[in-house]
Chain A
């Protein structure tokens, strides 16, 4: 007999409770993910439009515009924004971002500072002695609002504008679908202008320079907002999948334990029977 019946019973109960918790977490994440997905679709309409306008302005030939956000400077110091979650139990969600950054960090030929979104990134950066800009990790709520984005953006963008840093890169999990999230690096600043298929020749009311001055900061905020939404959806999807497999594993374990329990019970009955029969034989 491997373990007593009482011990096995206790383990079954504990595992059952764990499975209930993981099941609940799975369902919570599923509903949060659905909401995040909806927000992304709504935001995509807006993002497509602003992207179109920005690429139209920045790639219009013959228009003399210049803005620090478009200048590619020699990179001496760069800021890296690591987007992770506050809590664990989300599968490889956090570790994949941090691993990717760590392996890239070794090859940097410039000074790197990090901005940490989420406790996990903050803890990691502290233990690896990275230079962190923010004193506490930036908390992002499950339903990301535009105001939070400004808080995150302003400081680091200001540093870029002041020439303190020459590049801003975001590391985050891009949401492909429920089962797949991939680590993505996105250069926020300087803005990488996209190729446009067809150029509209625009009249710039108020002058191209003033339009650029107004639109680019807005555009940067929008990109960050989009990325945070994307990362949130990935977090929920990743947690959902992780909790689903945790629940499955727990149920499987319960089945195995139940088998052991039955065997133990059978063994104890057999033992009792042999005792009784042995006793009866001795009396005769």
Chain B
């Protein structure tokens, strides 16, 4: 039995006991079973597959590190999404990525607009310069 925990900057998104983890990155793929020697590897863009019995879970990952020692696997990813199939996980990750960018753009725009409003109002009220 392996213990796996997947952490992103927004917290731990998945944690469970599994039989096998398969790591796929652009450099190739390998799997970790119980009692593997301590290992570290990186994922630039790829996924990990978690198998427990017949049950499989996929986690699509952008920029991550996989570390295993004493049967505890830690996957650290800047962006990650969990789903039941690979296609689903990848779609979810892509959506997450896009929505983050969109959200960021929207907020930056909103901020610029309100900032402009504020400056105009200050000018109108003759309240002086705002640094």
Q: Count how many pairs of residues, one from A and one from B, have CB atoms less than 8 Å apart in the complex.
A: 94
- Would you call B7 and A49 a contact (CB within 8 A)? yes
- Is there a chain B Cβ closer than 8 Å to A130's Cβ? no
Secondary structure call for the A interface:
helix
The 6 closest A-B pairs by CB, nearest first: A42-B11, A205-B41, A214-B42, A46-B7, A203-B39, A200-B38
Within 8 A of B (CB), among A28-58: 39, 42-43, 45-46, 49-50, 52-53, 56-57
In the complex, residue of chain B having the shortest beta-carbon distance to the beta carbon of A213: B42
Residues on A close to B: CB < 8 A?
A: 39, 42-43, 45-46, 49-50, 52-53, 56-57, 119-120, 123, 139, 141, 145-148, 200-206, 210-211, 214-215, 218, 221-222, 225
Give me 27 A-to-B residue pairs in the complex whose CB atoms sit less than 8 angstroms apart, sorted by A's number. A43-B11, A45-B12, A46-B8, A46-B76, A50-B76, A52-B67, A53-B67, A53-B74, A53-B76, A139-B108, A145-B103, A145-B104, A146-B9, A147-B104, A148-B104, A200-B38, A202-B40, A202-B67, A202-B69, A203-B37, A204-B39, A204-B40, A205-B39, A211-B40, A211-B41, A215-B42, A225-B9
Instruction: List chain A residues, Cβ under 8 A from B9.
Output: 42-43, 46, 146, 222, 225
Contact with A along B31-70 (1 / 0, CB 8 A): 0000001111110100000000000000000010101010
- Is there a chain A Cβ closer than 8 Å to B10's Cβ? yes
- Is there a chain A Cβ closer than 8 Å to B111's Cβ? yes
- Would you call B69 and A200 a contact (CB within 8 A)? yes
Contact with A along B113-131 (1 / 0, CB 8 A): 0000000000000000001
Which of B8, B101, B131 has the most chain A CB within a 10 Å cutoff? B131
Secondary structure call for the B interface:
strand
- Would you call B65 and A218 a contact (CB within 8 A)? yes
- Would you call A46 and B11 a contact (CB within 8 A)? yes
